[in-house]
Structure 1
Amino acid sequence: MDLKIGNFFVKDIQFGETTSYNDGILTINKEEALNFVKEDEHITDADLLIVKPGDEVRLVPVKEAIEPRVKVESGETIFPGYTGKVAPAGNGITHALKGCSVLVVGKHWGGFQDGLIDMSGEGAKYTYFSKLKNIVLVADTDEDFEKREQQKKNRALRMAGHKLAEYIATCVKDLKPEEVEKYELDEITKRNKEVSDLPSVVLVMQPQSQMEEMGYNDLVYGWDANHMVPTFMHPNEVLDGAVISGSFMPCSSKWSTYDFQNNPTIKKLYREHGKTINFLGVIMSNLNVALEQKKRAALFVAQMAKSLGADGAIVAEEGYGNPDADFIECIVALEDIGVKTVGITNECTGRDGQSQPLVTLDEKADAIVSCGNVSELIKLPPMKTVIGELQSLARDGLSGGWADDEILGSSVKEDGSIIMENNAMFCGDQVVGWSPKTMKEF
């Protein structure tokens, strides 16, 4: 596969008469964009806002983040099988608006899988998205059946964000990009000796796929990942819209669609390919509920890695708790067949940091990169502007918020300050590879 991503570096975003891109300035016709969003009859109320790094803005409940992109040659959508018909991803030319994202925020109702972003102050350091210029779609839907449910599919809102991201990026479809990233790997059996003699590495990704009811899990070419068995994928497919985020995991553990589109681990492996490693590709695995299912998936992954000739593997899980069993099972299965393996995950060590970090452990899992503690308490002062509804953090069962605690009270205080667990920080742990967190020595 030969993928070229043409980048346009957004210096500023503004509203104006025409949706266009010129000399780093992205201009959006707000009325036309909202009319496009409201073509979906399930969107009952919507507004479009712009927030930038340093703004005194708090966003909650945040549901999704997408990088605006458009396919140049094929005429297909950027999310095949989801916003358009099933078609190959990972080939051809895709144009991307860099340094910005489309954020989807609920106008009122939040849930277990939604999170919070602060664009300035102490809270800004906890999430990558505070560093981006964000086009914020804040909206509500007619999905009354789930408004007060703790677990939401957020179907209409998420799809509105994905479609809006492509709608906005259409303005650069016919422009010359400022930079072109090239992603190409030769067929594994046809690589030259210099590359083939390097240590061979495969990336194992475990996207969230535990929910047996459809509509919550990550999607692969529009297919619910719960239906999958471990599957070998070209890394270009992941970077080019074949995989999109679901609506299930506690939010700090979530991989947003933006994270799949810009996966730093994949990009780093690409940079080292032919220099220090032979990058084989991606095994897209799944997360299961029953122990037998977890063991079966791990066996699939190990067999596939061995057959590909992997010397080493990186395993990254989306989530924690029940998925820890899949994560460790997979690492052990790889180590048992002689594939040296490193894991990437966050931890749930309790608010005091003294609980077992993963639900299950094994002495063979002796190389794990930690991306932070989901239970860490975070206290943040009031913010000048709230987009969405602050009370959703306390009222609606966000994974890091609560309505009342016998010691701490409500997550949302009368003055607008908050106390919450890291769990509710939108994509805060960044297991995909760009967590800002580090170790602290005592």
Structure 2
Amino acid sequence: MRLEIGNFQVQNIEFGVESSYENGTLTINKEEALAVVLRDEHITEADIILTKPGDDVRIVPVKEAIEPRFRLNAGPTFPGITGKIERVGNGKTVALKNCSVLAVGKHWGSFGDGLIDMSGEGAKYSIFSKLNNICLVADTDEEFERHQIQKKNHALRWAAHRLAEYLGSIVKDMTPDSTELFELAPITKRDEKVQGLPSVVFVMQPQSQIEESGFNDLVYGWDTNTMLPTYMHPNEVLDGAMIGGSYMCCSSKWSTYDFQNCPTIKSLYNEHGKTINFLGVIMSNLNVSLEQKERAAMFVQQIASNLGADAAIITEEGYGNSDADFIECIRLLEEAGIKTVGLTNECTGRDGLSQPLAALDVAADAIVSCGNVSTLIELPPMGTVIGELESLMRDGLSGGWAGDEKLGPSVREDGSIIMENNSMFCGDSTLGQSIKTVIEF
């Protein structure tokens, strides 16, 4: 498969009479863009607010992030979401870089929602503080879930994907600033030099632990809770086949933007043919029962072994119960003679002294830590809030609270906040974007 992504480097975003792109400036016709959003009758009100790095702005509750793109092969940019199910990863796609579409609740938050600060102390915790963000701030009539801790946020999240596709279409007939090429031949068709290099597979465990449809990550529009581990071409992951879900605690979750720009896939591509033979991706799942976990891990071992993998990198979206899937996969891969490195964050408590993962094994002797979900973060007030700050303490966000005996509420009267890292939007970036490190005492 051969995928060309034509990149347009967005330096500035503004509203104007006509949607266009010129010399690094993306101009959006707001009325036209909102018409795309309001195609869903369940969206009762919506606005688009622009913000850039360095702004005195706090955004919460953030539900999803998507890089604006458009596929030039006449198919949908996000198959199963913005159009019919159609294979992606081959052909040409255009992308608006240095920016994202953020789906933001106008009033109501959820366990899987998070916070982004565009400047100050909080900016260092999320890669999205470094982007020009197109904030879709909306409310819906989905009253059945308004007061639920877990929300599907279906109408708002799907609207954000439509908006991202619309914005990507602005540059569909233009020459990109640069082009990225991702090409990987079938495993049995590679030359002798490549075949002679150590073979590496990337195992991805997207969040899929809610048995009711609508909360989990999607693959081609299919709820990952119902899938078994399967082999995928890495181009599919980069080109819109994977959609972030609404469920996972926010610092641990993978947004659609993270799938589209997965650094580990890109790093493996960079080394392919030089130091390694990149076999591709095993897309696994995270399960509820022990039997399901063992079955999935067995399938991962089987696929990796039959691909001829010498080594594997594995990453999980989440922590706690999902650690059992993560560790069992490592154990079985190592049992098969496949040297394995894990990527995950930790849940070591606010004092950092608790066991980092819920499950451990001696085979898991090479793990990269991407942060502690429980770390306490204190942030000063910001001049502007996009969304609703009170949702952090009122609506059960995974790192916020209404009251604490010692710490008080997450949101203080002056607008300053105290929360766990759990609420930082995609802050731990276990797909390889984490900037955190470990200090050994």
- Give me the whole-angstrom Cα distance separating, in 2, the residues matched to 1:241 and 1:169: 13
Specify the alignment match of 1:416 in structure 2: 415
- Give me the whole-angstrom Cα distance separating, in 2, the residues matched to 1:394 and 1:216: 22
- Give me the whole-angstrom Cα distance separating, in 1, the residues matched to 2:307 and 2:188: 9
Over residues 357-411 of structure 1, what are the superposed CA-to-partner deviations in whole Å (9 max), with x where a residue is unaligned? 0000001100000000000000000110001000000000000000011111110
SS of residue in 2 equivalent to 1:413 = coil
Specify the alignment match of 2:66 in structure 1: 66
- Give me the whole-angstrom Cα distance separating, in 1, the residues matched to 2:283 and 2:242: 10
How do 1:106-255 residues align onto structure 2 when only pairs under 5 Å count? 106-255=105-254
SS of residue in 2 equivalent to 1:172 = coil
How do 1:358-397 residues align onto structure 2 when only pairs under 5 Å count? 358-397=357-396
Over residues 134-177 of structure 1, what are the superposed CA-to-partner deviations in whole Å (9 max), with x where a residue is unaligned? 11100000001111100000101100000000011111001011
- Give me the whole-angstrom Cα distance separating, in 2, the residues matched to 1:151 and 1:295: 27
Q: Are the equivalent residues in 1 in contact too, given 2:44–2:140 (CA < 8 A)?
A: yes
- Give me the whole-angstrom Cα distance separating, in 1, the residues matched to 2:16 and 2:430: 37
**Any gaps of 5 or more consecutive residues in structure 2?**
none
Letter in 1 for 2:188: T
Letter in 1 for 2:17: E
Specify the alignment match of 1:428 in structure 2: 427
SS of residue in 2 equivalent to 1:180 = strand
Superposed structure 1 runs of 4+ greater than 4 Å apart = none
- Give me the whole-angstrom Cα distance separating, in 1, the residues matched to 2:89 and 2:328: 30
Q: Does 1:53 find its partner at 2:48? A: no
- Give me the whole-angstrom Cα distance separating, in 2, the residues matched to 1:297 and 1:71: 32
Q: Does 1:14 find its partner at 2:18? A: no
Q: Are the equivalent residues in 1 in contact too, given 2:36–2:159 (CA < 8 A)?
A: no
Q: CA deviation at 1:36?
A: 1.9
- Give me the whole-angstrom Cα distance separating, in 2, the residues matched to 1:207 and 1:171: 31
Over residues 256-299 of structure 1, what are the superposed CA-to-partner deviations in whole Å (9 max), with x where a residue is unaligned? 00000000000000000000000000000000000010000000
- Give me the whole-angstrom Cα distance separating, in 2, the residues matched to 1:179 and 1:437: 29
Q: Does 1:41 find its partner at 2:41? A: yes
Letter in 1 for 2:381: P
- Give me the whole-angstrom Cα distance separating, in 1, the residues matched to 2:134 and 2:397: 23
- Give me the whole-angstrom Cα distance separating, in 1, the residues matched to 2:117 and 2:23: 28
Q: Are the equivalent residues in 1 in contact too, given 2:346–2:371 (CA < 8 A)?
A: yes
- Give me the whole-angstrom Cα distance separating, in 2, the residues matched to 1:319 and 1:291: 17
Aligned alpha-carbon RMSD (Å): 0.6
Letter in 2 for 1:276: T
Specify the alignment match of 1:315 in structure 2: 314
SS of residue in 2 equivalent to 1:302 = helix
How do 1:314-353 residues align onto structure 2 when only pairs under 5 Å count? 314-353=313-352
Over residues 76-95 of structure 1, what are the superposed CA-to-partner deviations in whole Å (9 max), with x where a residue is unaligned? 11111221101111000000
Specify the alignment match of 2:401 in structure 1: 402
Q: CA deviation at 1:441?
A: 3.7
**Any gaps of 5 or more consecutive residues in structure 1?**
none
- Give me the whole-angstrom Cα distance separating, in 2, the residues matched to 1:11 and 1:288: 41
- TM-score where L is the length of structure 2: 0.99
Specify the alignment match of 2:294 in structure 1: 295
Letter in 1 for 2:411: V
Q: Are the equivalent residues in 1 in contact too, given 2:286–2:322 (CA < 8 A)?
A: yes
Letter in 1 for 2:219: V
Of stretches 82-91 and 340-349 in structure 1, the one that deviates more from structure 2 is: 82-91
- Give me the whole-angstrom Cα distance separating, in 1, the residues matched to 2:111 and 2:87: 33
- Give me the whole-angstrom Cα distance separating, in 2, the residues matched to 1:118 and 1:92: 36
Q: CA deviation at 1:438?
A: 1.2
Q: CA deviation at 1:35?
A: 2.0
SS of residue in 1 equivalent to 2:8 = strand
- TM-score where L is the length of structure 1: 0.99
SS of residue in 1 equivalent to 2:152 = coil
SS of residue in 1 equivalent to 2:158 = helix
- State the identity %: 71
Specify the alignment match of 2:436 in structure 1: 437
Letter in 2 for 1:115: G
Q: CA deviation at 1:113?
A: 0.3
SS of residue in 2 equivalent to 1:130 = helix
Letter in 2 for 1:38: L
